[in-house]
Chain A
Amino acid sequence: MKMLEVRDLVKDFGGLRAVDNLTLALDEGEILGLIGPNGAGKSTAFNCIAGVYPPTTGEISFKGEKINNERPWNLCKRGLARTFQIVKPFPSKTVLYNVVVGSFATTEKKPEAERKALDILHYLHLEDKKDVLARNLTIADRKRLEIARALATEPKLLLLDEVMAGLRPTEVDEMVRIIKDLRDKGVTLFIIEHIMRAIMAVSDRVVVIHFGQKIAEGTPQTVAADERVIKAYLGEEYGVS
């Protein structure tokens, strides 16, 4: 059974077709990268999958069940979590508070929620900042906080929307390590990313979209060598070693 299946997904905003007949699937335990130029419809596709927008047509199923019109909070409880490209922490609350909101998805009791949140903060090396207000965090820590909150809901499938944008190279390496480790822990990951070095290193397969349509799919190597991809997105100078 596929973890996620998207079939002929179309999303129109008025006269604009943001996602155009997109079809893709994720196996359990896979890391799938989604790349494409700005405005290609990557985040819109994510938002359709995460229940923010209802698809215009097409079908989305999660663990074999159709989830087209499921609301975001129910999807979260069923094991689908996501981060936001523009991070959305609860700014006046501490880091710990932010993560506890996530861990309440699987428990009613505050001590247990707090214990789970602390475990995740420890895992992501955010422990020493647990009492810092979210609005005072650096961008790298805010991105990590997005992941921490999403992980606290105990997802089976995690959608990461540009969690590496704005990070320093060493921080990118750290994020790549975390993503691989999460997969080893049994989380399936679907990742939008612009940093080619990272997405090529981390993905099992990559899907490329342009003007809402899929123009290529395959292993990082085949995609990087694809002429249409080079023309639409990577640029002539991009070479893969």
Chain B
Amino acid sequence: MAEPLLSVEGVSRRFGGLLAVNAASLSAEAGRITALIGPNGAGKTTLFSLISGFLKPSAGKVRYASDDITGEPPHRLARRGIARTFQIVQPFAGLSVRENILVGAHLRHPARAAALELAERVGHDVGLGDMLDRPAHALTVAGRKRLELARALATEPQLLLLDEVLAGLNPSEIRDILPVISELSARGIAVLMIEHVMQAVMSLAGHVFVLAEGRIIAQGSPPQVVADPIVVEAYLGHGAAAKMRSAHVH
């Protein structure tokens, strides 16, 4: 098996008395889509922030391409090839779509012309081709999600952290954006996505990690994880798995 591109080892994060993330370990491989699921408040976004440099872990290590990147700031990680999107989209509201993507493109292309060309291409790739000169604040939620994705892609990452990129989208919008995401892994990018939309997890993810109350409680392929009674209980409450089993018997 290939050496994972990203390796999170026993990472914890404490906020005063609250242990938001508790010795969590996971990994992501190039060319694969890995999902991080779990009930609300489990600490998934916190874990993302720990991986992407917005928060420093209280304990544990984060490794990327065999380098120890624990605690490195976000802009340095971006240069290494780690890009992230935000759960609450953060467009550069006053700028046009093209100018938004341009900021990402400039990471590896100092010259404006080359960066603009890349921005144009990425914009088309995510399906925003005809919106490039509209102001970012004029986009719909679905559009903003695509913009969020485009900006991250323009940095030409090897690891892409997607934080609930499907949240707030209606079924047809989800159906339209799924191929864009699966295309990414075809290109060799490692994708780690936090998702609540189970249809996406089942159809896209090769491997799933389940986080509940700050701890990784299960991992495996999507069918394995969904059938795991521990996972069911994490979502539906204590005793739910047993209840479901007894319901089946009858």
On whether the two chains bind one another, the answer is: no
Using a CB–CB cutoff of 8 Å, the interface residues on chain A facing chain B are none
Using a CB–CB cutoff of 8 Å, the interface residues on chain B facing chain A are none
